[in-house]
Structure 1
Amino acid sequence: MDGLGSGIGQLSLHHVDVFTDRPMAGNGLAVVASPGPLAADEMLRIAQELRQFETIFLFHVGEDGAEARIFTPEEELDFAGHPVLGAAAVLHAQSRPTADRHVWTIRVAGRPLRVTTVARDHGIIGAEMDQGPATVSPPLPQGVARRFAAALGLRVEQVREDLPSQVVSTGLPYLLLPVTSEGLAASHVAVADLPSMLSEIGAAFVYVLDPDRPEGRTWDNRGVTEDVATGSAAGPAAAYLVRHGLRPADEFFHVHQGRFVGRPSRIDVRNAADGSISVGGLVAPFSSGSIEMAAVRPG
């Protein structure tokens, strides 16, 4: 496909910003398309060099989708939201620039993800993904929830004890910790053993959620980098808010994120009547270019 992975020894590179209507806002993403296979260590090193929170690699790009692998600078992920949306927007812009609407299938870790893209003005693409139904675990015991609150630097009064802390997943399990607006502002990773704590309850990451706005925050588990806008957490947040009667079922609403890192983002979510979770937003193009494989595979 023209513009995607063309050229021997080169990978195509597209930098887009997701969950925003303008460049240099929202959540930045690198979309890398390859005409052939790449080793996992090569993709990891490229992700580390690009230094985005996540980089998505596309393979076997066709008229209606692609195979994909997603990397942070630390590891490969089986699922992430904003990379899938951003990748579909790049596919739309590159291969169907005159189409008003198209449906793509992005396959990640063997899981097909259906994304609908819609062309907007000034090169902006709207993208919406069906994440399927959410899996909701039983509420954590109050003592365990308080232990996680302390691990995030929170005082007891900054946690919403009228709502449960639960692990919810639409592909990547998040501990949803409901907090007050003051708790959201104060939260941070305050312990070194957060990964082992999360593993004990079957979660990969924690998502601190102010359910009133609603607005969330999450970090890498070392607490080094705060994510700007997390599609894989917004889906679970939507399921959680509807389940507890805080938002209506089968209606779109917004989850906010990124304010605390200076990149406010808006994620569109909906928990359909059949239980499926939709997550979407706008995608703005920023730059494009190529990666020389000779630099990745020095001879």
Structure 2
Amino acid sequence: MPETAAPHPAPGPTPGTARRFLEVDVFATGPLTGNPLAVVVDAEGLSTEHMQALAAWTGFSETTFLLPPTDPEADYRVRIFTPREEFDFAGHPTLGSALAWLHVGGTPRTPGRLVQECGVGLVPVTVADDGVLAFATPPLRRSGPLDEADVVRIAAGLGVAREAIVDHAWGENGPAWQLVRLADADAVRALRPRGHAELKVGAVGLEAAGAETACEVRAFAYGSEDPVTGSLNGALAQWLRGAGLVPPRYVAAQGSQVGRRGRIHVHDDGARIWVGGRAAVLVDGTIAL
């Protein structure tokens, strides 16, 4: 019986241009304790569809693409994608992208200060001597209390009674965060959400006086929990500072319930609220796109 030739495998995708590719751990307190960010350093020539496809492929909460600035005041430009959509601003991608740009040899016009161009415009980023990077929180596009129907829906999604939410507000600064405050930090840590696929909610609870951190933060979006979230903490800082619930300088904790130990450094200098943290490049290589 004659041998039958084995079928040829289906051709795979054709590799593209090799581009510098980093993975950065943001708001970290040690290796693998923060929120990972994928960064394509030299992203010129990639279409929006290609960027969105890569963000879906990495599966990280965000993937960013560094580009030459179009504004003469900016050091670099960034586009920010979740696996589902593009954001015109987000916090941990801002810090991670700033570190990535510096890591590959970027030199800011002003030592210790970068200017990022993104969808919301120009965002200042500082680099302190102790390694903490911080961004100036953009103004809120939407604030004020939530509708009661939204609060009831959020309580159900978080698996708590409506009465467990002691205060609430909009905190839209790119992502359209809905903010809720619970009785205390322990109540936030105890949350066991259910049916929250359509929510984009940040929950916060204050710690007792003398605790290591001022508050516990959790972020729920797209049916999962985000480890550490800069845009959310920026919105929370504006809300909590406006209510006089936190001091001008404090540290927030996030990620404890998903195996992380994120720390977010917040500073209200009287003119702007700065949100910062430490970050480290953990992967440095290339990707064919």
* TM-score, normalised with respect to structure 1: 0.79
Equivalent in 255, 258, 270 of residue 273 of structure 1? 270
SS in 2 for 1:187: coil
- How far the C-alpha of 1:10 sits from its partner, in A, is 1.6
Query: C-alpha offsets along residues 19-42 of structure 1, whole Å, 9 cap, x if unaligned?
Result: 124221111111111252211221
- How far the C-alpha of 1:85 sits from its partner, in A, is 0.5
CA distance in 2, matches of 1:40, 1:152: 34
- How far the C-alpha of 1:108 sits from its partner, in A, is 1.3
CA distance in 1, matches of 2:74, 2:139: 23
- How far the C-alpha of 1:135 sits from its partner, in A, is 5.0
Letter in 2 for 1:252: R
The answer on whether the counterparts of 1:70 and 1:80 sit within 8 Å (CA) in structure 2 is yes
- How far the C-alpha of 1:57 sits from its partner, in A, is 0.7
Q: Does 1:282 align with 2:285?
A: no
- How far the C-alpha of 1:211 sits from its partner, in A, is 2.9
- How far the C-alpha of 1:144 sits from its partner, in A, is 4.4
Q: 1:35 to 1:141 in 2, by over 3 A?
A: closer
Alignment map for 1:142-153 (pairs within 5 Å): 142=148, 144-153=150-159
SS in 2 for 1:150: helix
Equivalent in 72, 85, 92 of residue 82 of structure 2? 72
Q: 1:271 to 1:134 in 2, by over 3 A?
A: farther
Equivalent in the alignment of 1:244:
243
CA distance in 2, matches of 1:278, 1:206: 21
Identity percentage of aligned residues: 30
Alignment map for 1:30-109 (pairs within 5 Å): 30-60=38-68, 65-95=75-105, 101-109=111-119
Q: Number of residue pairs matched?
A: 265
Equivalent in the alignment of 2:227:
228
Equivalent in the alignment of 2:287:
291
Equivalent in the alignment of 1:127:
133
CA distance in 2, matches of 1:95, 1:242: 37
- How far the C-alpha of 1:240 sits from its partner, in A, is 1.3
CA distance in 1, matches of 2:61, 2:197: 21
Q: Does 1:19 align with 2:27?
A: yes
CA distance in 1, matches of 2:246, 2:74: 34
* TM-score, normalised with respect to structure 2: 0.82
Query: C-alpha offsets along residues 189-215 of structure 1, whole Å, 9 cap, x if unaligned?
Result: 4336735xxxxxxxxx21011133411
SS in 2 for 1:149: helix
SS in 2 for 1:129: strand
More helix by share: 1
The structure whose Rg is larger is 2
The answer on whether the counterparts of 1:159 and 1:179 sit within 8 Å (CA) in structure 2 is yes
SS in 1 for 2:217: strand
SS in 1 for 2:245: coil
SS in 2 for 1:288: strand
Unaligned runs of 5+ in 1: 1-7, 196-204, 294-299
Q: Does 1:179 align with 2:176?
A: no
CA distance in 2, matches of 1:153, 1:268: 29
CA distance in 2, matches of 1:127, 1:156: 37
- How far the C-alpha of 1:170 sits from its partner, in A, is 3.3
Unaligned runs of 5+ in 2: 1-15, 208-213
The answer on whether the counterparts of 2:40 and 2:64 sit within 8 Å (CA) in structure 1 is yes
